[in-house]
Amino acid sequence: MIDVILARLRQGHRTIRYPGEAPTLPDRYRGRPALDPTKCPSGCEACLAKCPTDAITYTDGRLRLDLGRCLFCGECERACPEGAVGFTGDYRMAARTKAGLVVTGEEMRRVAALDERSRRLFGRSLRLRQVSAGGCNACEADTNVLGTVVFDLGRFGVQFVASPRHADGLLITGTVPRNMELALRKTYEAVPTPKIVIAVGACAITGGPYAGHAEVLNGADALVPVDVYVPGCPPHPMTILDGILGALGRI
Amino acid sequence: MTSEVLHNGYGAPLRRVTSLAPEAFRRAVIERTRAGERLVALFGRPLAQAGVRLLAVLGHDHGGTLAALATEVSEAYPALTPECPEAHWFEREIAEQWAVRPDGHPWLKPIRFHPPYRSGGAPPLGAAPAIGVTDFFRMAGEEVHEVAVGPVHAGIIEPGHFRFQCHGESVHHLEISLGYQHRGAERAFVAGPEKRAIHYAETLAGDTTIAHASAYCQALEALSHCRVPARAVALRGIALELERLANHTGDLGALANDVGFLPTASFCGRIRGDFLNMTALLCGNRFGRGLVRPGGVTCDLEPQRAEELGRRLERARRDVTGAVELLFETPSVMARFEETGRLTATQCIELGIVGPPARAAGLERDVRHDYPSGIFRFAHIPVSTADTGDVFARAFVRWLEIRRSLAFIGEQLRTLPEGPLRAALPPLVPEWLTVSLIEGWRGEVCHVAESDGEGRLATYKVVDASFHNWFGLAMALREQAISDFPLCNKSFNLSYCGHDL
């Protein structure tokens, strides 16, 4: 027993001070992209050719980057000769609609909170059932990590539960393969109404790298209505946490 | 000459792979596996005319060489499995993908539940199989009962279906039925390389991003005779070992959690994140996304960054040592780990088990040692083994490997070669074959690639360690208490999407 206590003392207190203090992220972290239209007068489209998921488009003389498709690989930034495309260190990227995921400049929009009734119901206590449907285990791992002492999800009143019948909503990761269609539908139906759905990662929003494959349904909203989209490949745990808490109107 | 000798990470002209008659092919594979070689891959490729060409890749672990054998079949061929059990999953895959029937296969069922890739004929597993609908093994008897779990599980994990045939608490057989994660990843590589392919590689099994991305890049580099700069080779090695450290540490924490020993569960859950953050220090992403690219790597480890990595490693080494020693010094934990979920060396050889579960049974199987490529040609990591083949041994091998990986990265940081990070990838040489092996944290990651006459990928085969090892988990569960399933499962910690592709 004494060994356990000594080990506990040596390991120390490791919970981050978020939301009181901003989290520290690695200097090379690729967060919310920023586009500078003034630096893209010619529309050379070098970035378009490099983007693996056609997340970046150039129409009517305007660059647009769809975070729902973006894999945050940084190929566009490396391809741009003018420095018009870049990635900031901002981890806050969730949105309530797919249209809200489209970046055209450097503006920063916070995820809108759910309606008042949902906030009243779930704002202080939210139980989620996680469903991985064609996720590669990266989104899953960085969702799971929210339960560690570092993030300590429980202190926000949010918890992952084992049964959909005990849940207030689903957190879905993955492309949603056809082979998961029935299981995801049944799990959604088993959650009591009212319920919310959070789609985490490029796969769950648009199919990610697998968009257009015959084997997948290109994301969660092919089957169920989605209330919150959290982009990334995978999103940083802070992006997921910000998406959940932002939707609950907690930050 | 009946087989072409290959080396990991090098290519050979396709014309040198001789095609044998089906019976001669079958005999050759059976004899060679009996003589100690291992079936690394066995897969089909549709022929321009009717029929399918089968290619077997055999590994001579002690000699460090690989061999390729080929044959051509049409609707059916005599199955290898009755005499070469390690072929059983491969032959089910061939039947499913190419609508070819391995006659005499003892349990021919789908493994991923998708329509065949080849039209015509009479697909042995149906033209449109419904997921999870198959003939499960059944036991009969008055007090026999069946427990079905999944595809959606209780925790934050990927989907799969498990059927336990139980007598009281005791599991007589566990059948694992997968395919829920099938995204069409493997066949999407064909006709490439194109710009999405590296992202398929990075997400084949997302927790194995570096190993699969390295295997893919190594395959392209072999097919194009690309020389990867020394500095990039070392950085790939560092990233691979960071991936192993994160996952092994996470697994030890999860094993502690499954026996209710919360201190180590809590500590290791956090320390795993520290290792992921070290990968992010190198490339900005916790899983190493965007780091490994054909021809080299995209990010450098400048002296200041290397120093910071060294400092963090030292801190993590202290933390993980304290957390894991506590685990192994706790008698109530050892009582649960020891003699649980045993897989013997003989079973591992028969089933072609790889990675920590094979090493835990005493087999010296490690790509870094047996088929060294990249940095492992110059810096050797001793193979870590145990001999009891139980949950304890699988946990202990992970702990040994954590220490080896920490020492390896420390050494690499001191001797990082200078020079560029990336070379341009030349076009692929037409009609070449390569086998690319990387020791991922779960075990052997194998990519086999062939180029066509125009230098496009004609075949792309992915074999994650999980492909070999899922059946090992099923065998380890025999005669175990069903309540020990989570513990046994975690001691393998296999990939669903890496299997389902």
Beta-carbon separation of A179 and B180 below 8 A: yes
CB-based contact, B260 to chain A, within 8 Å:
no
**Residue-level pLDDT at B256:** 97
Token pair listed for A2: 């004494």
Q: Is A13 exposed, middle or buried (0-12, 13-18, 19+ CB in 10 A)?
A: exposed
Contact in structure between A14 and B272 (CB atoms under 8 Å): no
Token pair listed for A65: 């980057």
- What is the topology classification, in CATH, of domain B4-103? Beta Polymerase; domain 2 (3.30.460)
Q: How far is CA A74 from the centre of its chain?
A: 17
Q: Phi first, then psi: give them for residue B77, nearest 5 degrees.
A: -155, 160
State the Cα–Cα distance between residues B114 and B130, nearest whole angstrom.
Answer: 8
Q: What is the dihedral of CA B199, B204, B208, B213, to 10 degrees?
A: -40
Contact in structure between A196 and A228 (CB atoms under 8 Å): yes
DSSP state of A177: B
- Closest CB to B158: pick one of A50, A140, A214: A140
In chain A, the number of structural domains is 1
State the Cα–Cα distance between residues A145 and B37, nearest whole angstrom.
Answer: 41
DSSP state of A98: S
**Residue-level pLDDT at B2:** 54
pLDDT tens track, chain B, 501 positions:
456 789 999 999 999 998 999 999 999 999 999 999 999 999 999 998 889 999 999 999 999 999 999 999 999 999 999 999 999 999 999 999 999 999 999 999 999 999 999 887 788 888 889 999 999 999 888 889 999 999 999 899 999 999 999 999 999 999 999 999 999 999 999 998 999 999 999 999 999 999 999 999 999 999 999 999 999 999 999 999 999 999 999 999 999 999 999 999 999 999 999 999 999 999 999 999 999 999 999 999 999 999 999 999 999 999 999 999 999 999 999 999 999 999 999 999 999 999 999 999 999 999 999 999 999 999 999 999 999 999 999 999 999 999 999 999 999 999 999 999 999 999 999 999 999 999 999 999 999 999 999 999 999 999 999 999 999 999 999 999 999 999 999 999 999 999 999
Beta-carbon separation of B183 and A132 below 8 A: no
Contact in structure between B261 and B333 (CB atoms under 8 Å): yes
Q: What is the DSSP string of B445-464?
A: EEEEEEE-TTSSEEEEEEE-
Contact in structure between B43 and B102 (CB atoms under 8 Å): no
Beta-carbon separation of B183 and A134 below 8 A: yes
| CATH assignment at residue A135 | 3.40.50.12280
Beta-carbon separation of B287 and A138 below 8 A: yes
CB-based contact, B86 to chain A, within 8 Å:
no
Token pair listed for B355: 């990675």
Contact in structure between B206 and A136 (CB atoms under 8 Å): yes
**Residue-level pLDDT at A38:** 87
In chain A, what residues touch B269 (CB-CB under 8 Å)? 145, 147-149
Give the E-state strand segments of B62-143 in sequence order: 65-73, 76-78, 101-103
State the Cα–Cα distance between residues A83 and B275, nearest whole angstrom.
Answer: 32
Q: Which of A136, A127, A144 is nearest to A174 (CA)?
A: A136
Q: Is residue A189 part of a domain?
A: yes
**Nearest CA distance, B212 vs chain A (angstrom):** 12
State the Cα–Cα distance between residues B109 and B125, nearest whole angstrom.
Answer: 7
Which parts of chain A have pLDDT scores under 70?
none
Q: What is the largest CA-CA distance in chain B?
A: 71
Range of the domain at A147: 116-247
Contact partners, residue B455, CB within 8 Å, separation at least 6: B427, B428, B429, B430
DSSP state of B46: E
Best of A78, A200, A215 to disrupt the B interface (most B CBs within 10 Å) is A215
ipTM: 0.96
**Residue-level pLDDT at A44:** 87
CB-based contact, A23 to chain B, within 8 Å:
no
Contact in structure between A232 and A69 (CB atoms under 8 Å): no
**Residue-level pLDDT at B1:** 41
CB-based contact, A133 to chain B, within 8 Å:
yes
- Closest CB to B322: pick one of A7, A130, A180: A7
**In chain B, ranges of CATH 3.30.460.80 domains:** 4-103
Contact partners, residue A60, CB within 8 Å, separation at least 6: none
State the Cα–Cα distance between residues B264 and B268, nearest whole angstrom.
Answer: 6
Q: Which residues between 464 and 483 in chain B have a beta carbon less than 8 angstroms from any beta carbon of chain A?
A: none
- Which residues lie across from B438 on neighbouring strands? B445
Q: How far is CA B37 from the centre of its chain?
A: 18
Locus of tokens 């029937």 = B101
Beta-carbon separation of A136 and B206 below 8 A: yes
In chain B, what residues touch A128 (CB-CB under 8 Å)? none
Nearest CA in chain A to B301: A28
Q: Which residues between 43 and 82 in chain A have a beta carbon less than 8 angstroms from any beta carbon of chain B?
A: 50-53, 71-75, 78
In chain B, what residues touch A130 (CB-CB under 8 Å)? 155-156
Beta-carbon separation of B280 and A26 below 8 A: yes
In chain A, what residues touch B251 (CB-CB under 8 Å)? none
CB-based contact, A185 to chain B, within 8 Å:
no
**Nearest CA distance, B78 vs chain A (angstrom):** 31
Q: Is B248 exposed, middle or buried (0-12, 13-18, 19+ CB in 10 A)?
A: buried
Q: What is the dihedral of CA B187, B188, B194, B195, to 10 degrees?
A: -140
Residue type, B249: T
Token pair listed for A193: 């109404």
- Write the CATH number of the domain with boundaries B202-463: 1.10.645.10
Beta-carbon separation of B284 and A132 below 8 A: no
Q: What is the largest CA-CA distance in chain A?
A: 69
> pLDDT tens across A12-39, in order?
999 999 999 999 999 999 999 999 888 8
Nearest CA in chain B to A219: B183
- Closest CB to A4: pick one of B263, B280, B283: B263
Q: Phi first, then psi: give them for residue B173, nearest 5 degrees.
A: -155, 145
Q: Is the pTM of this model over 0.90?
A: yes
Q: Which residues between 280 and 319 in chain B have a beta carbon less than 8 angstroms from any beta carbon of chain A?
A: 280-287, 289-290, 298-299, 319
CB-based contact, A17 to chain B, within 8 Å:
no
Q: Is residue A12 part of a domain?
A: no
Contact in structure between B260 and B323 (CB atoms under 8 Å): no
In chain A, what residues touch B282 (CB-CB under 8 Å)? 28
Token pair listed for B209: 């991003």
Q: Which of A38, A88, A45, A37 is nearest to A67 (CA)?
A: A88
Contact in structure between B414 and B438 (CB atoms under 8 Å): no
Contact partners, residue B144, CB within 8 Å, separation at least 6: B165, B166, B167, B172
Which secondary structure element, helix H or strand E, spans residue B486, and what is its range?
helix B485-492
Token pair listed for B17: 């792979």
State the Cα–Cα distance between residues A124 and B53, nearest whole angstrom.
Answer: 60
Beta-carbon separation of B159 and A182 below 8 A: no
**Nearest CA distance, B15 vs chain A (angstrom):** 33
